[in-house]
Amino acid sequence: MPRKNPIFPGPRTARGAVLAVLLSGADQAGAEPLRGRVTLAAIVRALKRKYHWPIDTTSFPSNAADGRATWATVYSLPQDVIDAALDAKGRDWLKSTNP
């Protein structure tokens, strides 16, 4: 199956905000649920499936603030994907995320 080109979501959406962080080269490690209904994991899933972004997911054991054992997940984009996206229309798209 041929690989589909990534699509940029709306710049002022939750998906756009998460993608902007990933395109900056930073890892996205957490975000508050948006309006109590959307989690970071759901946003990343949409970016992977609907928008075709090859987001890397790394999970590891961690401790919650109250001392309980839990899992932490970090999301990132490979550097070659970031470079290709920025060389396409990514720079202009990033500018539109911050009015």
Chain segment 36-89, per-residue pLDDT in tens: 678 888 999 999 999 999 999 999 998 888 989 988 889 999 999 999 999 999
Query: How confident is residue 1, by pLDDT bands cut at 50, 70 and 90?
Result: very low
Whole-model pTM: value is 0.83
Chain segment 2-37, per-residue pLDDT in tens: 578 899 999 889 899 999 999 998 777 666 556 567
Q: Which of 40, 43, 48, 59 is nearest to 81 (CA)?
A: 48
Per-residue CA distances from 71 to 22, 57, 59, 86, 93 (Å): 20, 12, 6, 32, 33
The whole-number pLDDT of residue 26 equals 76
Bridge partner residues of 28 (DSSP): 75
The whole-number pLDDT of residue 30 equals 67
Domains of the chain, first to last: 14-97 (1.10.10)
Q: How many Å apart are CA 75 and CA 32, to the nearest integer?
A: 15
Q: Is 90 helix (H, G, I), strand (E, B) or coil?
A: helix
